[in-house]
Amino acid sequence: MNSFDNLLARAAAGRGALRPEELAVLVAARDPAERKALREAAYAVKLRATGPRAFLRGLVEIGNACAKNCLYCGLRRDNAATHRYMIPEADVVRMARSAFEMGYGSAVLQSGEIESEENTARIERIVRAIRAATAPDFAIVLSLGEQTREVYARWRDAGADRYLLRIETSNPELYASIHPADHSWKRRRGCLSDLASLGYQVGTGVMFGIPGQTALDIARDIDFFREVDADMIGMGPFVPNPETPMAGAPFDKTEALELALDVIAATRLHLHDCNIAAATALQVLAPDGRERALLAGANVMMPNATDRQYRADYQLYKGKPCLDETSGQCRGCLSARIARIGETVAWNDPGTPPHYAAKHGGGRAEP
C-alpha cells in the first residue's frame, strides 16, 4: 500500500485520524488516480454513516439586506447594484410550509446580517408560526449571521433547531484579507460556541480557492470543523462576483470544481458522521456538480423554496442556477438528478446529523 492509500485507509478507519499536514496531502492531490481513490474512499464512509440517501433542505431566501461588507459577496452593504427586498412574514411562513408539504424534512431561512430588535422579533414570530404550521420533527434552520447569544437564545426558544454560520476560513489572517477591518474572526468563532451551548445543531463551513489560501489552510479548516464539534458542513468555491472588490481575483472553473470535490471528500473522511451539503454553487461550475459532490461524500442538497420573483436579487455570486424554476420544478429536477446517480431522496426526514444524534441520545435536544 503506498503512502496515499495508507492515509486513506487510516482516515476511513476512524474520525479525526489524520493530522492537518496529512489532510493537506489529500487536498493537494493532483494525480487523477489519487483523486478518484480519495472520492471513492469518502463515498464508502458516507454510505456507512448515512446510506445512499440525500436529505433535502428547502431554502427560503427571506431578505437580502446586509449590514456587513464582506469583500467577495454580492449582498455586501456597499453594492448599490443589488435591489434589496424583504419577504413579508406571512409569505416566509407559506414558503416554509410549502417546503414541508413537498416532503423536505427541513427548511433554512437565510438572509444577510441584520442586528436589530425589530429583526429579532420578526424572526421569532416567523419561527413560531412555522413551528405551528408544520410537524414537530420538521427541522427549522436559520442562517442569519452573527448575533448576540441572547438573540440566538430567543430564536431557539421560538423553535429553531439548527443554525448555519460559515467561518469562511479558520485562518484569522486570511479572514482579514477578505473582510473589512471592522469584521471580526474572533466574534464569529465566539458565535459558534454560543450556538453549540444553546443546543443548536451547528453548521459551519468555508470557502476554498481564496487568493493566497494553501492546501494546509484548507486542511486546517477541515480540522477546525472537528475541533468546534460541528454537526453540519456547508462549503463552497470562491467565485469572483463582478460587483465586488474581489471581481478580478484569479478563478479557474474546472480546477475549482475538482478542488471542491476533493475538499468534500477529505472532510467526509475526517468527520465521518456529519451532514455535508452539496452546495448549489457547484452547479455553476458544472451541470452535474452537485451530483458529483454526493458521490464524493456530501449527503444534503438545498432546493430553492423561495418564490421566483425574489431569486435573482439573492446572488452571493453571479451565475446562480435555477432562477426561473418554480419550487415544484426544483423538487422534480433534484429528485431526478439524485435518482440518476443511484441514490434516493430521504423524503419527510429531517436528516438529523448522526454526529448530533450521538451527542444527544439520538434525537432533537429540547430548547
Binding site for ligand SF4 (CB under 6 A): 66, 68, 70, 73, 75-76, 112-113, 145
- The owner of cell 464512509 is 45
- Shortest Å, Cβ 261 to ligand SF4: 23
Residue 312: count other Cβ atoms within 10 Å of its Cβ: 12
Smallest gap, in angstroms, from Cβ of residue 69 to ligand SF4? 6
Strand, coil or helix: what is 252?
A: coil
Nearer to ligand SF4, 182 or 366 (CB): 182
Q: How far apart are CA 37 and CA 31, in angstroms?
A: 10
User: What is the C-alpha to C-alpha distance for residues 303 and 104, in angstroms, rounded to an integer?
Assistant: 9
Q: Are 73 and 316 in contact (CB under 8 A)?
A: yes
Query: Is 145 or 159 the residue whose CB approaches ligand SF4 more closely?
Result: 145
CB of 77 to ligand SF4, least distance (A): 7
Pinpoint the alpha helices (H) of the chain. Answer: 3-13, 20-27, 32-50, 89-101, 117-133, 149-158, 172-177, 185-197, 215-227, 253-271, 282-285, 289-294, 308-311, 327-340, 354-359
CA angle 347, 161, 141 (to 5 degrees): 65
Smallest distance from ligand SF4 to CB 195, Å: 16
User: Which residue's CB is nearer to ligand SF4, number 112 or number 354?
Assistant: 112
CA angle 48, 52, 54 (to 5 degrees): 115
In terms of CB distance, is 68 or 331 closer to ligand SF4? Answer: 68
Residue 187: CB minimum distance to ligand SF4, A:
12
In angstroms, what is the minimal distance from the CB of 44 to ligand SF4?
Answer: 34
Nearer to ligand SF4, 105 or 145 (CB): 145
Taking the complex as a whole, the smallest distance from the CB of residue 68 to ligand SF4 amounts, in Å, to 4
Which lies closer to ligand SF4 via its Cβ, residue 118 or residue 366?
A: 118
Nearer to ligand SF4, 138 or 155 (CB): 155
Cβ-contact 42, 35 below 8 angstroms: no
Q: Between 68 and 270, whose beta carbon lies closer to ligand SF4?
A: 68
Least Å distance, CB 316 to ligand SF4, is 6
C-beta of 175 vs 356, nearer to ligand SF4: 175
* Cβ-count burial 90-118 (b if 16+ within 10 Å, e if not): eebbbbbbbbbebebbbbbbbbbbbeeee
Q: Please, what is the minimum distance in Å from the beta carbon of residue 114 to ligand SF4?
A: 9
Q: Between the CA of residue 159 and those of 51, 135, 315, 362, what are the distances in Å?
A: 28, 12, 28, 18
Among 344, 365, 341, 336, smallest CA distance to 353 is for: 365
